[in-house]
Amino acid sequence: MEYFMVPTQKVPSLQHFRKTEKEVIGGLCSLANIPLTPETQRDQERRIRREIANSNERRRMQSINAGFQSLKTLIPHTDGEKLSKAAILQQTAEYIFSLEQEKTRLLQQNTQLKRFIQELSGSSPKRRRAEDKDEGIGSPDIWEDEKAEDLRREMIELRQQLDKERSVRMMLEEQVRSLEAHMYPEKLKVIAQQVQLQQQQEQVRLLHQEKLEREQQHLRTQVSRGVREGLAHAAAVPLGSSGADSGPKVPGCQVSCIIITLSPCSSPWRPGLYIHPILLMAELRPGKVTLHAHS
């Protein structure tokens, strides 16, 4: 048995020949309506897909080239200068940036011109009124009407500006709150809890203060009642007696005052609270009783 060695440099040409032969056979069979073998059919499908892909790639490249040509015609450049695609993109970006700067400058200039026109239009009635006044033309009623109209117009403009600034401020505050809530949710929770705790402590303090005030008012009422009872008792004691029928009497002397001392006692509505001793001095005079209280 003999073996034939095929040179490696001839293998690609042989494979290419066989591939071309299969394509030709497939085309002839398709023209003659002869059924194809599975291998020939697969080769034909691959060839069709390859042709479709190549066609799509050609269209894509043509579209890209057309876009670069359009950009090249739009940007300012030297006539006859050949530019690569990277250079076209770079010059396009620079040109767009310069156009943006020019647009900003024109907008600022337009705003300044509008403000200048408004100032001129707003001052023209005043200037006209001054000229009419100097020449003695016109009546005060017309001047007052124009002045009121100018004031009304200025008020409307100021109100519109105020509403606009208020809406912008509210929008900015809402954005700040949303950003803070998004960035610091835990911190906001802690602050809310601290505020709630402070409010609760303030409520407890107010309730405690109201309770103390009620207790002091009740205490003052009780003390006033005791004073009135002591005064009544002092008025009921006859002159020259010490509050009872028995006891020493000093002839020829009159009682000028009665001293009543209330002993300290415990408060019935609040354990541990003691009433300070109160010294009552009732000065008896003809037709008049004067009470002095000392604590």
Per-residue model confidence (pLDDT) at position 164: 86
In the chain, where the domains are located = 11-74, 139-183, 185-232+255-295
Per-residue model confidence (pLDDT) at position 238: 53
Residue 171 scores a pLDDT above 70: yes
Q: Give the pLDDT confidence of 93-149 residue by residue, as tens digits.
A: 888 899 999 999 999 999 888 888 888 876 555 555 555 555 444 455 566 777 788
Q: How far apart are CA 17 and CA 11, in angstroms?
A: 10
Core vs surface per residue 5-31: b (16+ CB within 10 A) or e: eeeeeeeeeeeeeeeeebeebbeebee
Per-residue model confidence (pLDDT) at position 204: 92
Report the pLDDT averaged over residues 246-273.
Answer: 44
Per-residue model confidence (pLDDT) at position 43: 81
Mean pLDDT over each residue of the chain, to the nearest integer: 70
Per-residue model confidence (pLDDT) at position 269: 45
Nearest residue to 260 via CA among 235, 286, 288: 235
**Residue 57: enclosing H or E segment and its boundaries?**
helix 38-74
Per-residue model confidence (pLDDT) at position 23: 67
Cβ atoms within 10 Å, residue 89: 14
Q: Give the pLDDT confidence of 43-102 residue by residue, as tens digits.
A: 878 888 888 889 999 999 999 888 888 888 888 766 667 888 888 888 888 888 999 999
- Rounded to the nearest 5°, which phi and psi values hold at 277? -65, 140
Per-residue model confidence (pLDDT) at position 40: 74
Q: For 65-69, 113-117, 225-229, 259-263, which range has the lowest pLDDT when averaged over its residues?
A: 259-263
Residue 148, burial from CB neighbour count under 10 angstroms (0-12, 13-18, 19+): exposed
Per-residue model confidence (pLDDT) at position 237: 53
Question: Model confidence at 27, in pLDDT bands (50, 70, 90)?
Answer: low
Q: Dig out the tokens for 222 from the structure.
A: 């009780």
Per-residue model confidence (pLDDT) at position 19: 66
Residue 252 scores a pLDDT above 50: no
Percent of the chain with pLDDT over 70: 54
Q: How far apart are CA 23 and CA 21, in angstroms?
A: 5
